Structure 1
């Protein structure tokens, strides 16, 4: 189970300062991650290792220890590119 820590910053702003609040995405439909049109949505262990510039054995270890989001499809380990990009931004 993932645990998140929410921090709030309280500041006193000058009265004449105009501030625009930006609401963070709340649902998957608001997901700001954009996959380039010519890139595949899923990656193999080898493709992910090459993209992250780490060894395949490191990827297999991370999968075995459930440290990286993945799916197993008919014996193959696959990674969903937007999920991996989000995971990288949050770790």
Structure 2
């Protein structure tokens, strides 16, 4: 079988990691094209020039994920970190 010669099971995690990164990059590209107030794809919006629409920029910058993690602890597992770093 010719496929087993080129694609070995050891490279599946690499494919997964690269696929995840490509997906994240694609998602960010689509997000910037559709929702970024500074990006204008169609000609009618490009004619408007530079807009001082601060409310639209604020809604783009303060997305729901950023609002969700704003007051959270910046640790991945805070209870485990506290257990190992603060002995009683």
TM-score, L = length of structure 2: 0.22
TM-score, L = length of structure 1: 0.21
Structure having greater relative contact order (Cα 8 Å, sep ≥ 6): 1
